[in-house]
Amino acid sequence: MSTLQLAAGLNFAAALLHIGVILGGPSWYRFFGAGEQMAHMAEQKKWLPALLTFGIAGVLTVWGLYCLALDNRFPALPWTDTIMLLVTAVYLIRALYPLLLSPWVAVFRERFMVWSSLICAGFGAVHLLGVWPLLS
């Protein structure tokens, strides 16, 4: 398995987890740290939590497809190199900014932000290894 296949798998797994949160309902929104407001809206059967969560799942799925396209395991997609560099940057920035700002911003010290930052750091590291040849 290549690094890019692993990166694709991570994106697909994260997308499936987001779909699971939608299906799991308010308790899953709470458990996975989406916040009380999102959980409360889900309890009230409002469409916004599911729409936002589904949107995130869609983006993660597209990112997985770009990983496979860069690895020549999926048909070519537009701007694959550029998109993959941007995806990698998004993961790494998302990982770093809460950790760097946590001494000054209390919300970044919450359990969800710390764990999700560490997960994004792992995802970003795998993506960075996959796109490294583009940087050479």
103 CB-near residues (< 8 Å, 6+ apart): none
Return the percentage of the chain with pLDDT > 90, whole number.
93
One DSSP character per residue, 63-132 reads HHHHHHHHTTSS---TTHHHHHHHHHHHHHHHHHHHHHHTTT-GGGGSHHHHHHHHHHHHHHHHHHHHHH
Encode pLDDT of 13-38 as tens digits.
Answer: 999 999 999 999 999 999 999 999 99
What is the average per-residue pLDDT within 41-64? 98
What whole-number distance in Å separates Cα of residue 102 and Cα of residue 32?
20
Report the 10 Å Cβ neighbour count for 19. Answer: 17
pLDDT at 65 over 90: yes
Encode pLDDT of 74-98 as tens digits.
Answer: 999 999 999 999 999 999 999 999 9
Residue with token string 């799942």: 57
Fill in the amino acid letter for 16: L
CA distances from 110 to 25, 59, 88, 113 (A): 22, 25, 24, 5
The pLDDT score that the predictor gives to residue 136 is 85
The pLDDT score that the predictor gives to residue 111 is 87
